[in-house]
Chains A and B, each alone.
Chain A
Amino acid sequence: MSITLPKVRVPYLLLFPGFAFLFTFFILPIVNLAQTSTQTPIPGGDTGQYEQSFAFSNYINAFLDNRDQFARSFVYATLATIFALAIAYPLAYAIAFKSGKFKNILLVLVVAPFFTSFLLRTIAWKQILGEEGFLVPTLRSLHLMGQQTTITSTAVAVVAGMTYNFLPFMTLPLYASLERIDPRTIEASGDLYANGITTFRRVTVPLSLPGVVAGTLLTFIPAAGDYVNASILGSPNTKMIGNVIESRYFKIVDYPTAAALSFTLMAAILILVTLYIRKAGTEELV
């Protein structure tokens, strides 16, 4: 029970500056984006000049023109999320249960790589996996890889890059929820005739579910909107929706289409996230 404070206004006073800021620089821009998304070029105007004409067809055109990129964004992000979960879960499990007194050190080490710049890491991967790197020539000389096959500039490289870059967003929530599990519940399961695999399936996984949900969301959302991995590690054939939005803004100066695409992306993500949270049955995230 918290202390009853004399003034009811206090929480609102505390919220006001921050919320005023978020309203101006988050809500307002989103509303403005919605407006922009239905604009059309002013007939005879300069590039970048638009007027409101409630052209909802912008959405249809934007979507139809970029179906592939949309599909790729969601497929790549889903794959990256699955791989990240597969890599991070045993890692988080090992740190939470098997690391003894090295727990804190290992936890720091698992986050440490992400202290170097996101872009430097991605470029490092590009160079390691690239034609002049160490890996590709070695694999080629061992005939494990065709002379013409490459790793960079492929979808594999893009998904791998995203998996790596968003890994801490998966590992940390997983670790947090695994660490909270009382090891005695695992022993109790063993005591009640469950073998290792059954215990894992029936006790550990359900108890770590909040971490799985948080981790997959925190990985999937940025991955679906990402374009840096695709443009550094990929090729024109691996362009994602983020690349399209970026080039619509900066290269083509087609704000309405960019806005319509952004909105579609955001709506799609929000719908997916809502469905997912419902399905997973946890709302601890908010």
Chain B
Amino acid sequence: MGRGFPKGTRQLVSIDPINARGDLRLTRITKSYGDFNAVDDLTLTIPKGSFFALLGPSGCGKTTTLRMVAGLEEPTVGSIHLGDTDITTTRPYQRPINTVFQNYALFPHLTIFENIAFGLRRRGVKDVKEQVDKVLNLVELPHLAERKPTQLSGGQQQRIALARAIVNRPALLLLDEPLGALDLKLRRQMQIELKWIQREVGLTFVHVTHDQEEAMTMADTIAVMNEGKIEQMGTPADLYDDPETAFVANFLGQSNLIKGKIEGNDGDNLVIDLFGQKISMPKARSHAVDNSLYAGIRPEKFRITRTGSAVRGNTLTGGRIEDVSYIGVSTQYVVAMPWGQELMVFEQNDDGVPPFNKGEEVVISWEPSFTFGLRGDEDVEAGTEVNPEETPE
């Protein structure tokens, strides 16, 4: 408020984006609405040139974060830097940052050509026609230049929204649930295409989504957000294989979390008691703070064998098949354990072993190194109640 901007606004934004480029750094950002902190003391660095995803359920603060980076909201506390430039309070049109809006926000009164040319014209760029044509070719829609946005399909609008943003060669491209309005098949296709375009143009992409599969397909780094904070950050594989919290374990895929107690050490491994049965796991994969923990195993890591067969690795006996669902590539079993917990098991349908039947007694086994350990005071339900198809905020 009250901060005037200098007359040379155009000068400021038309600095060669290469020079304005750099890592995006958010430092101790808090955004409050009354008593509610939508974003809570968030610190984050997004390296230049990366495809970064902010993943979380609706209301987790990811869109608010994005809007602060775009300049559409101002942080209550904290600062935002792009390279060495402080952009915390800069107006949206003074930042070399462009956004692909949710539902695209194409200007309905302008043609596709003029939509894409909008940013170039505001910046006083000379060769508007050339650049627009080039980007239309990149998104493979040069024939639509003279149409109006309402005459385009959802997928086409999505590409035009992308073209309208990248034609400006921003230091940072923000994507706010860009594929949310597309049907599943088109979404898959666009995921691949977006990734290809990112490599082609070499821009930093920051992608906000509530769809874990989408984030994992596209991003090189994912930050999982929950209640205004970052739960965990890393590559898709890191997050999936070694989640640090129950929220991440449940929000990215499915997990079996079994309450246990650390009994002692065995070299680099921990010996753990799960309701009277001993298992082991690598020390490095435990995030427990005391001797109580949850042992986490992904459903596809489990193997089921009939009682009496030879097995390797960790085993849990006394299970009984409760439910069987055949879904083509795999069969999903629900196995009831003696302590009352039901475990989820996915078995590939790749061997000749006849499927198990409801009511059969079975042994569950898995490779010890697939186990991850969570703190014993975690809420095991965190991140499970989220419906991935629900509309984002």
Spell out A's residues near B (CB within 8 Å): 1, 3-4, 6-8
Contact = CB atoms under 8 A, between A and B. Distances in A.
A83 to B, nearest CB: 42
B345 to A, nearest CB: 40
Interface residues of B, number: 8
A3 B1 contact: no
A1 B73 CA distance: 9
12 contacts: A1-B72, A1-B73, A3-B72, A3-B92, A4-B1, A4-B74, A6-B1, A6-B2, A6-B3, A6-B4, A7-B2, A8-B1
A6 B9 CA distance: 15
Nearest to B3: A6
Nearest to B1: A6
Interface string B51-86: 000000000000000000000111000000000000
Given A6-B2, A7-B2, 10 more contacts: A1-B72, A1-B73, A3-B72, A3-B92, A4-B1, A4-B74, A6-B1, A6-B3, A6-B4, A8-B1
Contacts of A1: 72-73
A112 B3 CA distance: 52
Contacts of B2: 6-7
Contacts of A8: 1
* Majority secondary structure of chain B interface residues (helix, strand, loop or mixed): loop
Contacts of A6: 1-4
Contacts of B1: 4, 6, 8
A6 B74 CA distance: 12
A148 B379 CA distance: 90
B155 to A, nearest CB: 27
Nearest to B92: A3
A204 B74 CA distance: 44
A3 B4 CA distance: 16
Nearest to B74: A4
Contacts of A3: 72, 92
A100 B3 CA distance: 54
A8 to B, nearest CB: 8
B180 to A, nearest CB: 18
Contacts of A4: 1, 74
Interface in B1-56: 1-4
A11 to B, nearest CB: 14
A284 to B, nearest CB: 25
A6 B4 CA distance: 8
A13 to B, nearest CB: 16
Nearest to B4: A6
Nearest to B72: A3
Contacts of B92: 3
Interface in B87-102: 92
A9 to B, nearest CB: 11
A113 B73 CA distance: 50
Contacts of B74: 4
A10 to B, nearest CB: 12
Nearest to A2: B72
A4 B72 CA distance: 8
Top 4 closest pairs, chain A to chain B, by CB: A6-B1, A6-B2, A3-B72, A4-B74
A6 B3 CA distance: 7
Nearest to A8: B1
A245 to B, nearest CB: 48
A3 B92 CA distance: 10
A4 B73 CA distance: 8
Contacts of B73: 1
A93 B92 CA distance: 46
A41 B73 CA distance: 64
Most chain B beta carbons < 10 A, residue from A6, A7, A8 = A6
Nearest to B64: A1
B336 to A, nearest CB: 39
Interface string B122-161: 0000000000000000000000000000000000000000
A7 B73 CA distance: 16
Contacts of A7: 2
A6 B72 CA distance: 13
A4 B4 CA distance: 14
A1 B68 CA distance: 13
A7 B2 CA distance: 7
A7 B3 CA distance: 10
Nearest to A3: B72
Contacts of B4: 6
A3 B71 CA distance: 10
Contacts of B3: 6
B141 to A, nearest CB: 30
B5 to A, nearest CB: 9
A10 B71 CA distance: 21
A63 B1 CA distance: 56
B34 to A, nearest CB: 14
Contacts of B72: 1, 3
B208 to A, nearest CB: 16
B133 to A, nearest CB: 31
A1 B92 CA distance: 15
A138 B78 CA distance: 86
A8 B2 CA distance: 9
Most chain B beta carbons < 10 A, residue from A3, A7, A8 = A3
A12 to B, nearest CB: 15
A274 to B, nearest CB: 33
A4 B2 CA distance: 11
A155 B4 CA distance: 67
A43 to B, nearest CB: 62
A30 to B, nearest CB: 38
